[in-house]
């Protein structure tokens, strides 16, 4: 049996390979669909993207291979491939230019900005943002939130091909993203050291910046301390959290 370190390296290689295959194959298929104006190949590209995205995420979580740089690359790959699909689709159905433009504006602009805000805290990806703010996570990066923000738009535009209905749905999601940006801006500023994935380092940084002398802490300080404790738990791997729970 291979040593644990070698096994982790192999699974990391497989996870990276799936990410690369997803990006390259998606770009090639969408480029072919754009040249041939073939709607079927456009949907094949979307299917390849979604299926490999599921496999990539499963491997990363199952074998503790989630990394912050991997999450950033995944976010960027999502934007590139989804943009290719919708640009191809609007070439076939130009009457959908308004809802598609609205969707790409929020997905490639506002949502891209929001998805990278997880870097402010010691969590590995937006999938763990519940440790910082559960409501933001629920509406944006929970399984139901992801379905609402992507699959619903695709289903409405593909099944109805209605510019009016598509614009209403995309407008509602745009409002949700603006609300998320406002709520995100109101979150307590992370303390120095929160960007570390080492819970001990984060705890040290918090203790150095905490009020001394027994003075009562402000409401902002209390919220910050509570959020930091939740986020620090997510800095550990899933297996480490399971072992810690078992010991308790």
Residue percentage of the chain with pLDDT more than 70: 69
What confidence tens digit (pLDDT) does each residue in 175-192 have?
999 999 999 999 987 765
pLDDT at 216 over 50: no
What confidence tens digit (pLDDT) does each residue in 62-81 have?
767 777 888 888 899 899 99
pLDDT for the residue 238: 46
pLDDT for the residue 150: 85
- Higher-scoring residue by pLDDT: 232, 23: 23
Most confident of 40-44, 46-50, 70-74, 232-236: 40-44
Are the beta carbons of 243 and 137 closer than 8 angstroms? no
Mean pLDDT of 139-151: 90
Mean pLDDT of 19-26: 84
């Amino acid at each position: 049996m291979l040593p644990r370190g070698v096994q982790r390296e192999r699974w990391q290689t497989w996870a990276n390979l799936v990410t690369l295959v997803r990006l390259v194959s998606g770009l090639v298929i969408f480029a072919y669909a754009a040249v041939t104006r073939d709607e079927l190949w456009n949907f094949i590209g979307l299917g390849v993207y979604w299926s490999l995205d599921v496999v990539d995420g499963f491997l990363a979580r199952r074998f503790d291979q989630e990394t912050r740089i991997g999450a950033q690359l995944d976010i960027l790959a999502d934007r590139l491939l989804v943009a290719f699909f919708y640009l191809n689709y609007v070439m076939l159905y130009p009457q959908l230019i308004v809802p598609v433009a609205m969707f790409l504006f929020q997905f490639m602009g506002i949502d891209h900005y929001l998805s990278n805000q997880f870097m402010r805290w010691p969590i590995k990806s937006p999938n763990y943002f519940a440790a910082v703010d559960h409501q933001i996570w629920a509406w944006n990066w929970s399984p139901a939130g992801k379905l609402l923000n992507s699959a619903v738009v695709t289903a409405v535009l593909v099944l109805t091909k209605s510019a009016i209905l598509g614009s209403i749905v995309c407008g509602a999601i745009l409002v949700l993203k603006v609300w998320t940006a406002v709520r995100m801006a109101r979150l307590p500023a992370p303390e120095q050291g929160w960007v570390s994935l080492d819970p001990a380092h984060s705890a040290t940084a918090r203790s150095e910046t905490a009020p001394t002398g027994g003075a009562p802490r402000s409401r902002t300080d209390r919220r910050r301390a509570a959020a930091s404790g939740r986020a620090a738990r997510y800095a550990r791997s899933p297996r480490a959290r399971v072992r810690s729970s078992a010991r308790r």
